[in-house]
Structure 1
């Protein structure tokens, strides 16, 4: 099993309630989650990714099995059926719901069923590549933010989405450095499924720059630079300075943003220059 499979599964283990509620849309009681042993032995050891016991909102208990798959596997329906029998034998008396969650970079080709003479077997199948990233970004929790890297970005600029994820993780976990590093490590591993290594690298640079910009000597120097520009009345110089600062903090600016800065009035430049110190996104600068 690849390292990225293991790490992403640990993330989803913490996200069992969120997955069941927001992705699978199961009406559950969040406090009822009980993680169950998943290792079963025959000739070889096998371990299902995540098996939990839950209650729905009516109080009825059931078993939920979620399997996380990083690549297309033609044997997956048979594997899922085998997991089904093992789980039901180990935990008799409760109904079982099964879901395969695909997080790979290639288009999904695995079926969600297997049919044979006299039997039909089917399970739920979720392709994370077809999920709008806003669905998870709006949850604004570390676990949801990390998994959002696997979803569809739609028309959003990938760099802007990755920057947002980094900025929110820092805001949510800034006073817990160990957890922050763990989530960043997971994010780095999962990003390879979407070929986002370059955007991750740029976001990491942005985060480093933000740390530097929070230091008093940096803020004092920047404020003096903006003040001097205003006193001299050099509109073009102020615009160029702000453009360089935005480029440095948020990455390459879109042409329309550059034009907006170049054509801005001096008072607008001054207001934006003050906001850029604390802003974590471009939108916060121009609000």
Structure 2
């Protein structure tokens, strides 16, 4: 069973790159041309599962894709790093994941005598804009001089991964890439959204992409994901988005405004539910799990009524009647 996203960065990346048309546009932009030319992009498929441990989900997202390279089955393993600093041991981490991929492959095909090629790709989306400053090749981790490594040749593994360092790519360069609008917006936000108070301004050049997203088959869901991500990790006042929203095409404007209003209402209801749970606990003592679930699932009208009733009720049952 596929692992469920455990943080907003993971959820947003998976939502966008989990569709092959989006993943292909990013991979074609970052992979070396000789790999791009050998790949049959019509065969690109997202594979189920994740190789990142639950403890590291706040730092990494991974998406393994199958694809044919010169007619042979291969895997492109995409790892997205969300932390600000570079992982010095990233080549070792990737090697571990690649071995796990091969092990899982052998378990699935116990009679196989061959293994699929695995092409590792790392997307570094530092929210603080720190450029990648760590090894990109396994051999760079070895405690050995360059002459010694050269003399050993292919006796020691050198495994190099493809790095797409978002901190080294400004918006103008990102706009030159032949990406789908959804991927361009996702990459920009993964790099810039966290903690920003000026997204209404910095996102202005993305108005054409946001409008184009609304016209795609998954446009509504993609725009909802954009708004959800911004409201979860960003700190821009909602009113500061008004000039940007006014420049959008009608469909994009409608989806973004409606989603924003819905999320704000959900946030207010969650806050009211948490407050009522605290008041119930202080008045009646420790609450049962069923009572907490009942309050969290309540409608805004029920929460308002119960908040009034707690002032005079003598039992929890009377309060939640």
TM-score normalised to the size of structure 2? 0.51
Matching of residue 74 in structure 1 with residue 88 in structure 2: yes
Residues 136, 147 of structure 1: 8 Å contact kept: no
* Cα deviation code 1:69-93 (max 9, x no counterpart): 0123333222111001111222352
Judged with a 3 Å threshold, the aligned counterparts in structure 2 of structure 1 residues 97 and 107 are, in CA distance, closer, same or farther, namely same
In structure 1, stretches of 5+ residues that fail to align are 215-287
Determine helix, strand or coil for the equivalent of 1:110. Answer: coil
1:106-121 aligned at under 5 Å gives the runs 106-115=130-139, 116=142, 119-121=156-158
Determine helix, strand or coil for the equivalent of 1:109. Answer: coil
1:199-278 aligned at under 5 Å gives the runs 202=240, 204-210=241-247
2:18 to 13, 21, 31: 13
Q: 2: CA distance between counterparts of 1:126 and 1:188? A: 26
Could you say which residue in structure 2 is the equivalent of 1:102?
124
2:44 to 4, 27, 33: 33
* Cα deviation code 1:120-156 (max 9, x no counterpart): 3322222122124345434463323313516999xxx
Q: 2: CA distance between counterparts of 1:45 and 1:162? A: 29
Residues 133, 151 of structure 1: 8 Å contact kept: no
Residues 102, 128 of structure 1: 8 Å contact kept: yes
Report the alpha carbon displacement of residue 172 of structure 1 after superposing the two structures with TM: 3.6
Report the alpha carbon displacement of residue 9 of structure 1 after superposing the two structures with TM: 3.7
Could you say which residue in structure 2 is the equivalent of 1:184?
227
In structure 2, stretches of 5+ residues that fail to align are 1-5, 106-113, 144-154, 193-198, 252-321
Q: 2: CA distance between counterparts of 1:110 and 1:189? A: 29
Residues 146, 186 of structure 1: 8 Å contact kept: no
Q: Which structure has the higher relative contact order (CA within 8 Å, separation 6+)?
A: 2
Number of positions where the alignment pairs a residue of Structure 1 with one of Structure 2: 203
